[in-house]
C-alpha cells in the first residue's frame, strides 16, 4: 500500500524511513509467492536467531548493560521461552492461501499480507519483543521495521542483526527485518508510524497514543498494574511461591508483574507468613516512608530503583540489613489513587499489600486500583473457590483473569493455559486499545472472502417479531 507523503515529518527522517520502507517492500516480493512451508521456515529461523543459547545470552547481557533494567538470567529465559511458545502457536496455523472454508455458508477465506509493519519495542524487553513481533509479521508474509528505545538500541540492533543473518542463511532477504538507525528520536519513530501500513506498539503510553494518532492502522497496549487476590480458600504456600517467582522475574520489568496483593482478613497473617517464607520482607512504617521517598523522585519513578536487584533496591531506599537478604518488599497500604502512589505500577520489587474482610471488599479494592491505573490489563486470584474467580471475571473490566498462576508467566501465554504466547497484551477500549486479546498472527493478515450463493436463509416476520408483538403489540 502506497501512502501519501507525510508533510509533517522532518525531511531527513522521512528520507530515512522511506528508504527502509522501499527496502521492505522489495524484500516482501519474495514472500508473496512463498508456500506455507517456506513461510514457516522463515518464522523458525527468526526464533532460532534468539533461542540459540549463545545468542540468548549475548542479547540478554547487552539488554541489561544498555538499559540497566532486569537481570541477565531471567532475560535469557524470556528470550527463549516466550519465543519458543510463540513458534509453537505459529506453526499450528495457516496464513497462506485458503485458511478457512465454510461450505454451509458458501464462504472461503484467503490470507493476504498487511504490508510493512512498524514495530515499536520497549526498553524493558529490547530483544525478546522485536523477535516476537517479527515472527508474527513474517508469518503473515509481511516485512517489519523495528523502532527500538534509545536505551535498548545496542541490544535491539544486535538482535535484528542476528535475525537478518538467519534469514540470509535460508536464502531470504535480510531486509524482511530492519531497524531504525541511530540516533533514535521521537520524530523518527513517529515518522515510521505514519508511513508504514500497520504499527504495533509495546511499552510507552506516549508511543501508544502517538500510534493511534498517526493515521496508520494501529495496535497498542495498555499500562500494566496487576493486582492479585488471595482469598480465604487459597493454598497459601502455593500462592506465595508463585507470587514471589512472578514478582521477582527479571526484577519486575514485565507489565504482567504483580504490583499489589489483596488478602482476605481471615488468612491475612498466614498469607504474610507464607510470603515471608518465600522471600518477602514486610516493611515497617519507617521502611514504608523511605520507600515512598526514594521510589519516586519529583513525581517520577527513580531509575536507580527501577528493575534493580533486591539488594540495590534496599540500599537505595535505606532499608535495614535484614531487608537486603530479601527477594521482594511488602508494603502495607490502604486505598488507591493519585494520593496513594503505592497503588500504581512500580516496575520494581515493591509489592503493595492490602487487607480486606471478604471477597466483595477485595473486588472493590481491585476495582479502585484499576480505576487509578491498569484498567483493561489483567488481574489474578489465588483460590480454591472458582466462583470467586468468576466474580472477578464478571465484574472487572479486564481482558485476562488468571487463576492460581504466577502472573508474569501465564499472562502472555503459557504451556499450561490456553492463552496464546505473546509479549504484547491488548487491553481493550478500557485502556484505549484496538484489541482485547493477546497479540497474535491474525492481527498481521488481511482476509479476502470468496462468497458464493447458498439456499436462502430468510426467516418469517413471525419468527423474528413474534415474541416482541406478543409482549408489546404491533
At residue 11 the predicted structure's pLDDT band, cuts being 50, 70 and 90, is confident
Same domain, 401 and 441: no
Same domain, 105 and 231: no
Same domain, 68 and 126: yes
- Asked whether residue 5 carries a pLDDT value surpassing 80, the answer given is no
Same domain, 140 and 237: no
At residue 6 the predicted structure's pLDDT band, cuts being 50, 70 and 90, is very low
Q: Give the percent of the chain with pLDDT over 90.
A: 97
* pLDDT for the residue numbered 470: 97
pTM score:
0.94
Pairing of strands 107-113, 445-451: antiparallel
Q: Is 243 contained in some domain?
A: yes
Same domain, 21 and 161: yes
- Asked whether residue 444 carries a pLDDT value surpassing 60, the answer given is yes
Same domain, 395 and 441: no
At residue 337 the predicted structure's pLDDT band, cuts being 50, 70 and 90, is very high
Same domain, 352 and 233: yes
Same domain, 241 and 307: yes
Same domain, 194 and 169: yes
- Asked whether residue 376 carries a pLDDT value surpassing 60, the answer given is yes
- C-alpha distance from residue 369 to each of 134, 257, 264, 397 (Å): 34, 15, 16, 12
Mean pLDDT for the chain overall: 96
Pairing of strands 300-301, 296-297: antiparallel
Q: What's the grid cell of residue 305?
A: 530503583
* CB within 8 Å of 432: residues ≥ 6 apart: 208, 209, 212, 220, 222
Q: What is the DSSP letter of 110?
A: E
Q: How many structural domains comprise the chain?
A: 2
More confident residue, 232 or 203: 232
At residue 299 the predicted structure's pLDDT band, cuts being 50, 70 and 90, is confident
Q: What is the residue range of 301's domain?
A: 226-411
Same domain, 210 and 290: no
462 by DSSP, 3-state: which?
helix
- Asked whether residue 468 carries a pLDDT value surpassing 60, the answer given is yes
Catalytic positions, written as ranges: 255
Same domain, 110 and 234: no
* pLDDT for the residue numbered 2: 42
Segment 393-423, tens digit of pLDDT: 999 999 999 999 999 999 999 999 999 999 9
Q: Is 429 contained in some domain?
A: no
* CATH number of the domain enclosing 396: 3.40.309.10
What average pLDDT score do residues 240-267 get? 97
Same domain, 149 and 256: no
- Asked whether residue 8 carries a pLDDT value surpassing 80, the answer given is no
Kind and range of the H or E element at 452?
Answer: none
What average pLDDT score do residues 64-76 get? 97
Amino acid at each position: 500500500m502506497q501512502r501519501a507523503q507525510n508533510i509533517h515529518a522532518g525531511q531527513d527522517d522521512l528520507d530515512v524511513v522511506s528508504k527502509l520502507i522501499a527496502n521492505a517492500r522489495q524484500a516482501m516480493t519474495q514472500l508473496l509467492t512463498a508456500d506455507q512451508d517456506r513461510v514457516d521456515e522463515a518464522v523458525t529461523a527468526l526464533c532460532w536467531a534468539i533461542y540459540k543459547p549463545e545468542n540468548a545470552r549475548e542479547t540478554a547481557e547487552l539488554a541489561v548493560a544498555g538499559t540497566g533494567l532486569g537481570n541477565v538470567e531471567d532475560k535469557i529465559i524470556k528470550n527463549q521461552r516466550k519465543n519458543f511458545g510463540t513458534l509453537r502457536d505459529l506453526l499450528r496455523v495457516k496464513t497462506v492461501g485458503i485458511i478457512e472454508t465454510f461450505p454451509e455458508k458458501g464462504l472461503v477465506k484467503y490470507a493476504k499480507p498487511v504490508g510493512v509493519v512498524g514495530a515499536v519495542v520497549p526498553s524493558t524487553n529490547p530483544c525478546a519483543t522485536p523477535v516476537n513481533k517479527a515472527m508474527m509479521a513474517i508469518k503473515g508474509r509481511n516485512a517489519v521495521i523495528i523502532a527500538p528505545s534509545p536505551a535498548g538500541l545496542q541490544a535491539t540492533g544486535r538482535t535484528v542483526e542476528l535475525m537478518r543473518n538467519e534469514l540470509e542463511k535460508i536464502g531470504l532477504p535480510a531486509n524482511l527485518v530492519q531497524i531504525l538507525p541511530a540516533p533514535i528520536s521521537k520524530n523518527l519513530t513517529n515518522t515510521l508510524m505514519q508511513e508504514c501500513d500497520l504499527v504495533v506498539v509495546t511499552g510507552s503510553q506516549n508511543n501508544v497514543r502517538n500510534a493511534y494518532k498517526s493515521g496508520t492502522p494501529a495496535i497498542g497496549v495498555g499500562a500494566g498494574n496487576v493486582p492479585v487476590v488471595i482469598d480465604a480458600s487459597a493454598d497459601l504456600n502455593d500462592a506465595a511461591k508463585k507470587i514471589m517467582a512472578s514478582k521477582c522475574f527479571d526484577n519486575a520489568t514485565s507489565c504482567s508483574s504483580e504490583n499489589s496483593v489483596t488478602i482476605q482478613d481471615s488468612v491475612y497473617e498466614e498469607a504474610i507468613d507464607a510470603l515471608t517464607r518465600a522471600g518477602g520482607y514486610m516493611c515497617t512504617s519507617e521502611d514504608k516512608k523511605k520507600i515512598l521517598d526514594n521510589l519516586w523522585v519529583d513525581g517520577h519513578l527513580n531509575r536507580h530503583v527501577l528493575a534493580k536487584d533486591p539488594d540495590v533496591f534496599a540500599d537505595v531506599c535505606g532499608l535495614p540489613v535484614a531487608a537486603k537478604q530479601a527477594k521482594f518488599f511488602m508494603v502495607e497500604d490502604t486505598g488507591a489513587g493519585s494520593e496513594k502512589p503505592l497503588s500504581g505500577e512500580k516496575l520494581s520489587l515493591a509489592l503493595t499489600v492490602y487487607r480486606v474482610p471478604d471477597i466483595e471488599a477485595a473486588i472493590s479494592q481491585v476495582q479502585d486500583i484499576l480505576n487509578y491505573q491498569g484498567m483493561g490489563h489483567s488481574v489474578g486470584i489465588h483460590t480454591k473457590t472458582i466462583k470467586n474467580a468468576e466474580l472477578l471475571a464478571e465484574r472487572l473490566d479486564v481482558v485476562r483473569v488468571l487463576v492460581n498462576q504466577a502472573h508474569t508467566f501465564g499472562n502472555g501465554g503459557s504451556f499450561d493455559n490456553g492463552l496464546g504466547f505473546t509479549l504484547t497484551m491488548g487491553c481493550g477500549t478500557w485502556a484505549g486499545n484496538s484489541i482485547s486479546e493477546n497479540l497474535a498472527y491474525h492481527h498481521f493478515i488481511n482476509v479476502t472472502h470468496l462468497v458464493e450463493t447458498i439456499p436462502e436463509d430468510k426467516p418469517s416476520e413471525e419468527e423474528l417479531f413474534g415474541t416482541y408483538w406478543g409482549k408489546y403489540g404491533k
